[in-house]
Amino acid sequence: MMPTMSAKDLSKIYRRGSEEVRALDGVSFEARSGEMAAVIGPSGSGKTTLLNIIGCLDNPTAGTLSVGGEEIFGGRKELSEKELTFIRRRIFGYVFQKFYLIPTLTVRENIMLPSAFYKSSAGAKSPDDVMKLLGIDKRAGHLPGELSGGEMQRVAIARALINSPKVILADEPTGSLDSRRTGEIKEILRELATQGMTVVMVTHNLELAKAADRVIELRDGKVV
């Protein structure tokens, strides 16, 4: 199977005053369509930096990244904010630990929020289908304040799915949930991968990491 995401020798160097901080140091990995990959490692190991770069929120200092055969970073000049945004729109859906749902929008409206800003070139999914897939169709008219933590994370996942992304990037998706809800979210992410998406998640949760097809362990910015 063709790899959906391929990273080679990704490096990220920050300058802190006169000091040079090497947050990522030659990280390479692949993740295929239908695969769930977990990025693990201690705090400060470069997990979030890696997620930011593969999620096109930041440029790498060196290295290449291609998604679905399309080269995104690699030997060219740094991409502008606008270019990165266009790539994010086409390829990625994001899930965050703290959900970031808008409290005055209903579940349905929160799910449709990305479509307020752009229309997906891949074609937007029906919010009803996405809610049904995630088991929140009966909560469509509720406000986030009326939902449990697990339900809120399902809404956040639904929001990430609405514009048919190729890759789901999840940063500590179960960090705010208890073990039962963690299990539910794990099953949902697994189901998304089964449907052909690539799921890359940063997690401290070993149970979630064990469910992944591929585990990328980082230490001091390097894959170990």
Partner 1 sequence: MNIYSVAYKNLLRKKTRAALTAGGIALSAWVLATLLGFNRGYENGLNRDIDNMGFQVLLTAKGCPYEAATLMLKGGTGLRYMPESVVKTVYLNPEVEKVTPMLMQGVFDPNKGENGAIAAYLGVDALTFPAMKGYLEFKQGGWFKDNNAYEAVMGFEAAELEQREVGDKLLIPGVDKELAVTGILKRSGTQDDGTIFLPIGAVQKIFGKQGKLTGLGIKVRKDADMAAFENKLYDLPDVQVVSMAQVKTTIMNLVNSARVIVLGIAVIAVIIAMAGVINTILMSVMERYAEIGILKSMGAMPLDIFKMIWAETAMLCSVGGAGGIFLSFLTARVSESAVRYFLPYAPNGALIALDWRICLFAFLLIVVGGLLSGVYPAWRAARVRPLEAIRIEGEQ
Footprint on this chain of partner 1 (rule: CB under 8 A): 48, 52, 55, 57-58, 81-82, 85, 88-89, 94, 96-98, 100, 102-105, 109, 112-118, 159-160, 163, 171
Q: How many residues make up the chain in this entry? A: 224
Name which of 32 and 100 has its Cβ closer to partner 1.
100
CB 1 → partner 1: shortest distance, Å? 27
Alpha-carbon dihedral 116, 118, 123, 128, rounded to 10 degrees: -10
Name which of 41 and 211 has its Cβ closer to partner 1.
41
Name which of 122 and 210 has its Cβ closer to partner 1.
122
* CB contact set of 198 (below 8 Å; sequence gap of 6+): 4, 5, 31, 32, 33, 34, 35, 37, 166, 167, 168
Would you call 61 exposed, middle or buried from its count of C-beta atoms within 10 A (0-12, 13-18, 19+)? middle
What DSSP state is assigned to residue 77?
Answer: P
Name which of 14 and 28 has its Cβ closer to partner 1.
14
CB 48 → partner 1: shortest distance, Å? 6
Structure tokens at 56: 């096109």
CB 150 → partner 1: shortest distance, Å? 19
Name which of 91 and 188 has its Cβ closer to partner 1.
91
CB 92 → partner 1: shortest distance, Å? 8
Residue found by looking up tokens 């949930």 in the block = 177
Contact between 138 and 185 under an 8 Å Cβ cutoff? The reply is: no
CB 115 → partner 1: shortest distance, Å? 6
